[in-house]
Structure 1
Amino acid sequence: MSTSDDLHKKKMATKKAVKDARIAQATEERGVLILLKGNGKGKSSSAIGTMARALGHGKRCAVIQFIKGRNETGEYRFFRDQDNLDWFIMGQGFTWETQDKAQDIEAAQKAWALAEKLLSDDTYDLLVFDEMSYMFKYEYLDVEPVIAALKARPKMQSVIITGRTMATPIQDIADTISVVQDERHAFRQGVKAQAGIEF
């Protein structure tokens, strides 16, 4: 074996020991609160990908879409007949499309009433609250009742919330926060949104 191979083997053994020690220290078993934020493309896609993983393990999941108001998206078409999944399209579309604040607030409150119910149901393993963060930014929902419900949810229930910005109180109780950055987007180069890519 060459010196290079020896050095690589030693480096990997050291790395494995560090990783194994960290794994051994993670002994708590409970659901987690994951926030996917930032101005880049892919937050909802990441949440749906995690949900697919959960479904693959036989977990029961639900999606509540707080803004998207259409059922022809590719992800909805693919997952709508999936066992162990409930999918709720509660929004009326983006606020600049509806231009009706009262209607948007009513839709947000209906979506939250459903979300609150699911957060108390221990038969759900994973909940995805897609674009929920905008409800706090636009002041359609108060954040404190949401914090209380998230804290009181069943021990093994995990929740993913997506949206560009996140209310500070929700970030304060989150277990995992990932930021999706925007370095370049085809739309700004004049490329039309495509089925299978954007929706």
Structure 2
Amino acid sequence: MQIEAPPSVKPYEKPEGERRGLVIVNTGDGKGKSTAAFGLAFRAKGRGKAVKVFQFMKVPSARFGEHRLADQVGLPIQGLGDGFSWKSRDLEQSAQLARDGWAKAREAILSGEYFLVVLDEVTYPLIYGWLPLQDVLDTLAQRPRDVHVCLTGRRCPEELIAVADTVTEMKLIKHAFQAGIPAQRGIED
């Protein structure tokens, strides 16, 4: 590690542009995409903003740590799926659940009722061909001016990255799972 001096001058100028809803993408093979999106959702909720989270791969009855805290603070999370594809008994049913879920998410985005809409793990139904990418792009373009949308998942389509305002790629450097350590409650669920 190299030691460096802390900055003595502000390293940036304050932007002069307009405040408006942002499209935020968390993608990549590393851990933290959904975690970052939930941090954003809790931050907005803490500021008294209306937030809605749609989880495209989680079942509606999921009770992970984020669901338990969300219940405590009144953050609505809607599971739209039936689990990851390798757990599915019927992939056409999984695809239909994604399409039905997208209709709900699209309605929430376009309604203007929410400051932030999180589309957690939405890249999977997109890359599996279950959702039409153009409809997602059109919805993002047509959303009310002040609505923020955060999309998460691996292998985000380039077309979404191109229209996003902020894109963060979580890079896998090392993961406990690779060393044979199973998921830890409170860390990964």
TM-score by length of 2: 0.92
Aligned equivalent of 2:186:
196
Aligned equivalent of 1:184:
174
1:1-199 to 2 correspondence within 5 Å?
12=8, 15-16=9-10, 18-19=11-12, 22-23=13-14, 25-69=15-59, 70-83=61-74, 85-199=75-189
Aligned equivalent of 1:4:
none
Q: What is the CA RMSD across the aligned residues, in angstroms?
A: 1.5
Task: Say if 2:54 and 2:80, in contact at 8 Å, map to a contact too.
Answer: yes
Identity over aligned residues, as a percent? 35
Task: Say if 1:71 and 1:77, in contact at 8 Å, map to a contact too.
Answer: no
- Listed as ranges, the gaps of 5+ residues in structure 2 are none
| Mean Cα deviation higher: 95-104 or 151-160 | 95-104
- Listed as ranges, the gaps of 5+ residues in structure 1 are 1-7
Task: Say if 2:70 and 2:76, in contact at 8 Å, map to a contact too.
Answer: no
What whole-Å deviation, never above 9, does each CA across 1:135-173 have from its counterpart, x for those lacking one?
111000110011111111111110100001111211111
User: How many equivalent pairs are there?
Assistant: 184
Return the letter of the residue paired with 1:36. N
Return the letter of the residue paired with 2:51. C
> Which contiguous aligned blocks of 4+ residues in structure 1 show a shift greater than 2 angstroms?
none
What whole-Å deviation, never above 9, does each CA across 1:30-72 have from its counterpart, x for those lacking one?
0100000000011000000011110111100000000022421
Based on CA coordinates, which of the two structures has the bigger radius of gyration?
Answer: 1
Structure with the higher helix share, 1 or 2: 1
